[in-house]
Every structure is written in structure tokens, then in C-alpha cells.
Structure 1
Amino acid sequence: METYRVKVGAQGEIVLPLELRKIFGLVAEDTLDLCVDSEGKVFVRTAERSVRPLSDFFEDLIIGDLLADGCNGDCLKAKLLECKLKLSTVLDRLSEEAHRAHKNGQSVKWWETQALSPLGIKKTFDGTYNVMLTTRSIHDLAVLREEELSEIPEVFQNLELDPMAFKRLNGPYYETYRVSFRCRSKEYRVIYTVFAAENLITVLTIGAREVLYDRLNGIA
């Protein structure tokens, strides 16, 4: 069992180590419960999240992989935390990569991508934000079928208007969100980062939940 020692401040405050915050996906404004058992031991648990970590959305898939590898009991708990910690860093890495690509002129406006050109998209308005795709997200579009691609324009147009209206994912440094769309009863997700000062949205990855898990797990 890992032990983390913290000091109590003058006002009774404590600071959780960064590693713990990453493992459990804790961010500012999250609420914690302090539970005391009959032996006087104190346990901490999350009472209310202001923002959910990326790894929460894939926890069942992580556990499935670990069980298939023969992990159980304490091994399963330890490996689960290890895997969640790795995934928790992926969003910031992808956000930094996408922003750097955009700065280097290696991104394109979403309606100009070759994968969407067969849809004959005609831009009728300009939103507040520019939705930009990099090589990674363009590749994600290229593997989608035409019926799935047909849902993309509406998603991106909604992002142009208000990208922060959708579900926020935690990351220590960047504002990253996810929006979902359905096609033939299957749910797909678009994960993106908002750079509000630049009115910029960089799309990080697009795909079905299981596909995103394999993709992000491979990056981690």
C-alpha cells in the first residue's frame, strides 16, 4: 500500500500530492468526504466531481483487460490505478501536440478536409471558434464510414458556436471536452481542446468508445 504524508496548514487545509490528484482525476472544486472508522483510521473518497477524468469513461474496459491478463485482488487494484494514471496524462500530451501542430501550420479547417469533401459541405455561417484538425484527427475521420461522417458537420458547427457547452474532461493544464453523436445506435465521441484566448478548437481524436480506448491506451 502506498503512503502519502501531508501537512495540515494553519487554517486546517491539506494539499493532496499531484500524483494522487492525477490518479483519481481530482481538480479544483471537487468535493471529498473524510470518513473515520471505529479504529480512528481516516479514509478519503470522492463525494462530488466538478469534472470527470478521462480514465473514468474507460474504467470497465481497463478492468476487462486486466482480468483477461490474470490480475485480481490487490494486483487488480494496483494495476487499475497505474493504468488510470497513464491515461490521465494522455489528454494534455495530445492537446500540446495538436496546438504545436496548429502553430506550425500543420492543421486545416474542418470543412476543408478530404474525408468530408464528398458531403459537399457549404459553410453558411462563421461561429465564434475555429475548429481545426491535425493529422491525427484527419486520420480518424478517414476510417469512418460515410453515414458516420454525415453526422460530423453538425457536431463541428455546434462546437464553433459554444464548445464549452459540452462535457468537460479533466486535465492539469488544458481545457478538454467531449461531445457525443450517434449513428445506427452506436455512440461516437469527439474529444477536443479549447484555446479560448485564440478562439481555437483543436480536435484530438474521433471514434467509437472502444476504438478511442485502444487508441489512447496505445499512446499512453
Structure 2
Amino acid sequence: METYRVKVGTKGEIILPKELRELFGLVEEDTLDLCVDSEGKVFVRTAERSVRPLSDFFEDLIISDLLAEGCNGDCLKNKLLEHKLKLSTVLDRLSEEAHRAHKNGQSIRWWEAQALSSLGIHKTDRGQFNVMITTRGVHDLVVLRKEELKEIPAVFECLEQDPFAFKRLRGPFYETYRVSFRSGTKEHRVIYTVFSQENLIVILTVGAREVIYDRLNGIA
């Protein structure tokens, strides 16, 4: 278990370390519960979370692309909204596609993916949720470097226990979330959908933030 030490400010405030905020996708206006057990230990858990559309997390990349195309002023504003709307619809399309693939037997348990099994993982138990990967997710793993792949098992094992602990992305039909992990200096994302009634998690895409942005653009 990782331990983080924080100081209490003059008004009782504490500042969560950046790596924790990034890991759990915490943003301004999220609410946390401080829980105290019988031994006086304090635990922190998320209570109310501001839900943002996936496209908000790529706004800077969208703007950069539009500026490179020569958009500015009203053109930039209108094109930005147009691009964000397109990306927002991609999530539900991917979720529907992934669920259909799973129903058709076109998914595997995460540790069965060749890119991960090559690390020598011998998985014998599982958590409350089954984490499954479709062909699209398998392809995403193949292009990751070995040092990046080594971070994946810990992430997926966390999802097996509590997939709701991470940042939810706004979508009209499905419960879709993202979790961040860092390999070296680069930040990566795992985007997944939870099908609660089936205790099922389907991985939608894995990769560096910029890579996922390009993938979603290609689908949109």
C-alpha cells in the first residue's frame, strides 16, 4: 500500500498529491468522504464526482489541430464544438461494439492477451468483476512497449476489485470510465465500460493520451 504524507493548512485544508489526483481522475468540484475506522485510521473515498465528457480531456489537442488548420475566432469556437460532439458519440459506439463482441465470444480475459501473457503472468484468482479485452483492445496492447505493458496488470487488478473508483466519463447510455497510469514520463489511459448487471468490464482502448485521441478521431 502506498502512503502519501500531506500537511494541514491554516484553514484545515489538505492538498492531495498530483499523482493521486491524476490516478483517480479527480478534478475541481469533486467531493471526497473522509472515513474514520475504530482504530482511528482515516480513509479517503470519492463521494460525488463531476462527470465530464471524454472530449473535454482532449480539448487542448483539438484546439492545437484546429489552430494548425488555420482556424481562429468564431471558426475555432464552432469547429471546437463540432469536434467535441463527434468525440462524445464515439464512446457509446465503442461500448456497444465491445459488448456485442463479448456476447459473440470475441473477447478474452485480460491476462490471456498475448502481449500480457508474455510477461509471465499466472493469474489464478479474480476479483468481483471480469475484465475482458476485445480484438480492438488486444491490438492496442501490442503496440505498447514492454515497460508500459508492465504497468497494465496492476491497473486491471484494481478494476477487478472496484471499477467505480476512477473517473467516470459522460455518456448517455453506458457507464464508461478512465484510469490513468504513468510509464516513465508519459501518461497513459485505460478507457473501459462497466456492465454492472453482468459484473463485466470491457476495455475499450489503452494507450498514451495522444495516441487514444488519434484513434478516436479515426473512428469519429
Q: TM tier, shorter chain?
A: 0.7 to 0.9
Change (3 A) 1:49 1:164: closer
1:111 aligns with 2:111: yes
Count the aligned residue pairs. 173
Partner of 1:152: 152
AA aligned opposite 1:71 = C
CA distance in 2, matches of 1:116, 1:123: 11
In 2, the alpha carbon distance for the partners of 1:170 and 1:162 equals 19
Q: Please name the residue that 1:137 is paired with.
A: 137
2:5 — aligned with what? none
Helix, strand or coil: the match of 2:52?
A: coil
- The answer on 1:169 being equivalent to 2:196 is no
Calculate the aligned-residue CA RMSD, in Å. Answer: 1.2
**CA–CA distance in structure 2, aligned partners of residues 126 and 56 of structure 1:** 33
Residue type at the aligned position of 1:88: S
Alignment partner, residue 178 of structure 2: 178
Alignment of 1:55-134 (within 5 A): 55-134=55-134
CA distance change for structure 1 residues 80 and 92 in 2, over 3 Å: closer, same or farther?
A: same
Counterpart of 2:145, as a letter, is R
Greater Rg over alpha carbons, structure: 1
Q: Deviations over 1:73-120 (max 9, x none)?
A: 111111001000000100000000000000000000000111112111
Q: How far apart are residue 123 of structure 1 and its match? A: 1.6
Deviation string 1:35-73 (CA, Å, 9 cap, x unpaired) is xxxxxxxxxxxxx97201101000010001001101111
Cα deviation 1:148-170 (Å, max 9, x = unaligned): 10111000000000000000001
State the 1:185 CA deviation: 1.6
SS at match of 2:50: coil
- The alpha-carbon deviation at position 122 of structure 1 amounts to 1.6
Moved more, 113-122 or 137-146: 113-122
Superposed displacement of residue 124, structure 1: 4.3
Distance verdict in 2 for CA 1:194–1:49, change over 3 Å: closer
Distance 2:175 2:85 in 1: 18
Gaps of 5+ in 1: 1-47
* Structure-1-length-normalised TM-score: 0.77
TM-score by length of 2: 0.77
- Could you tell me which amino acid in structure 2 is paired with residue 213 of structure 1? Y
SS in 2 for 1:141: helix
Percent identity over the alignment is 79
